[in-house]
Amino acid sequence: MKTQICMNRLLWIALMLIGIFGCSEEQSSEENTESGIIQGEESTDNATVIQLIPSNKYQTVEGIGGGIANYENWYCQHPNKKELFDLIFKDLEISMIRIGNWYEKKVSNENPNILKQQKEIMDAAVQRLGRSNFSVMMSNWLVTPDLIDRPKEKGATLKRNKEGKYMYKEFGEWCRMTLKAYQEADMAPDYLSMMNEPDGDNSAGNKICLGYGADDSEKANYGKALEATYEALKELSDRPKLIGPEVLGIGYGTFSNYYKDLNSNLLNAAAFHCYHGGKISDYKDDDRYSSAHTFKSEFQNLAQQVGNKSIMMTENCSYHPTVPADAVNIAHFISNSFRYANVTVYLHWALLWGYADADELKKGGDGCIAVEWPWSSSRWTTEKGYVVRSDFYGLKHFTKYIKPGWRRIGVDYELKETEVIAFQDPDERQIAVVLINYSEQEEKTVRLKTSDGKEVSSIRKVIQTDTQKESWYQELKTIDPFIELLLPRMSVTTVYCKFKTN
């Protein structure tokens, strides 16, 4: 008995020494400890299996990115513009840019250099990405006063001619003329929206409100304006793809009413914004941007109405003071838009946005990067005159690895307050999975599994944003998500891996 006790004590001491001195490099590293990832040959019993199903193939991605549609002169004049362009093009590595048709700013002398500024930004993207690696979407905004019925008055619509008919043909010709100006400036868009947010109130009276239904009402008809634009552009050899109706949101039947009133055959893609919609009674903290889960039903209805045509979500942002959780909020909206609305494109409202002073900077929630007044650093609140916001990192979880041509594939799992979405490259050798835990109370333990039994190569990455710790887009090294992975509360995690070929 004494001999057995002594042996047990020796064994206990040996185990203690191994625990003190024998930890592997991976186990002792600070980064791995912070990640909450558990190493081992087998996962624990509480890990929820998330099955990837590559055989279930859905829509093909056309682009993920955002808009640079205001404050162009700020960015071009900023002392640190190279860093700004490196961040949005080289670091984010976006695959689609949205610009505004600001031709009327040039002719009115509001900003005579606007096309040159837009070209400088475009050139910066080409230098960092290569022109073949991103596409350009342009939305028409301002309209010549000659085509506005009540210029500078709220709610202005398309002007009528002497016969009392709306000037649809003239509007289509204006669209063609301004498009050609951008093409001649070497900024030919791949996609064109005839009118940004035709359902807006047009408070400045510098664009045109367009409605649906009978065109003898107070608003000209969007569908008829689309027909005139299509006719005006159809002979162009380099005609961009037409998208629309690009309404403010999908609530109140807005998208549905516009879309069923137009000839969808004239559109290459259906487009919408996300500024209203969802089940308002289920909003988290009465905030739309924090409540992507409430949009599921309307997203599904929109996808069903549009059918097989491409769908593009071309504008969304928080409009509340930026908080760390916005990294999760934007990722949640992107994931749900792809999974439930079946979109092929997701564009954040602004990659860059200008703020004139500290008070505006504090209140604003428009851009992934907040750019401070470029003409005097004395007004800056930061050393370099810009702030990288949390939305930037949430967007990066999608832009960095998921590229045009990748297809959404099936996922199967059972987890509350969690969204998982996966994409595969055209050669079926790479998969990127984005996991969003939008619970404020519960962390989740998961492990990935493939349904086809393909063996993962040694090339795999796990990148995580933990908003509770304000840890942004950190790579978690020496871990295996196919064994066990912890999803912290309010976090976004990307798993990228390559598969062995036969």
Which CATH number goes with the domain that contains 89?
3.20.20.80
Residue 45 is predicted with a pLDDT of: 66
For residue 13, is pLDDT > 60?
no
Residue 40 is predicted with a pLDDT of: 38
Query: Do 67 and 53 reside in the same domain of the chain?
Result: no
359, 379, 404: which is the final residue of a domain? 404
Residue 35: band (very low, low, confident or very high) from pLDDT cuts 50, 70, 90 = very low
Residue 19 is predicted with a pLDDT of: 40
Mean pLDDT score of the chain, rounded to an integer? 91
Query: How many domains is the chain partitioned into structurally?
Result: 2
2 inside domain:
no
22 inside domain:
no
Query: Do 289 and 267 reside in the same domain of the chain?
Result: yes
Give the residue-averaged pLDDT of 274-287: 96
Residue 241 is predicted with a pLDDT of: 98
Residue 499 is predicted with a pLDDT of: 85
Query: Do 418 and 293 reside in the same domain of the chain?
Result: no
Rounded to whole angstroms, how far apart are CA atoms 344 and 198?
Answer: 22
Domain CATH number, residue 446: 2.60.40.1180
Closest to 424 (Cα-Cα) out of 454, 391, 466: 454
For residue 5, is pLDDT > 70?
no
For residue 2, is pLDDT > 70?
no
* Helix segments in 212-355, DSSP class H: 222-233, 254-261, 296-306, 326-340
Residue 502: band (very low, low, confident or very high) from pLDDT cuts 50, 70, 90 = low
Rounded to whole angstroms, how far apart are CA atoms 449 and 193?
Answer: 41
Greatest CA separation for the chain: 113
Closest to 412 (Cα-Cα) out of 23, 29, 48: 48
For residue 38, is pLDDT > 50?
no
Distances (CA, A) of 233 to 175, 359, 372, 373: 8, 45, 39, 39
354, 379, 404: which is the final residue of a domain? 404
Residue 218 is predicted with a pLDDT of: 87
Query: Do 237 and 317 reside in the same domain of the chain?
Result: yes
Interacting residues of 200 by C-beta distance below 8 A, sequence separation 6+:
207, 209, 248
11 inside domain:
no
Residue 121 is predicted with a pLDDT of: 98
Query: Do 392 and 412 reside in the same domain of the chain?
Result: no
Helix/strand/coil percent split, the chain, to 5? 35, 25, 40
CA atoms within 13 Å, Cβ hemisphere of 352: 29
For residue 97, is pLDDT > 80?
yes
For residue 415, is pLDDT > 70?
yes
Is 424 in contact with 431 (CB distance < 8 Å)?
Answer: yes
**122-178 pLDDT per residue, tens:** 999 999 999 999 999 999 999 999 999 999 999 999 999 999 999 999 999 999 999
Query: Range of 108's domain?
Result: 62-404
DSSP bridge pairs for 499: 456
8 inside domain:
no
Rounded to whole angstroms, how far apart are CA atoms 456 and 451?
Answer: 12
Query: Do 182 and 243 reside in the same domain of the chain?
Result: yes
DSSP bridge pairs for 444: 487
**444-473 pLDDT per residue, tens:** 999 999 987 777 777 789 999 999 999 999
For residue 24, is pLDDT > 50?
no
For residue 274, is pLDDT > 50?
yes
Give the residue-averaged pLDDT of 218-244: 96
Compute the Cα dihedral for 189, 191, 194, 199 and give only its sign: negative
Rounded to whole angstroms, how far apart are CA atoms 422 and 433?
Answer: 4
Interacting residues of 122 by C-beta distance below 8 A, sequence separation 6+:
97, 99, 136, 186, 187
Residue 44 is predicted with a pLDDT of: 56
**167-204 pLDDT per residue, tens:** 999 999 999 999 999 999 999 999 999 999 999 999 99
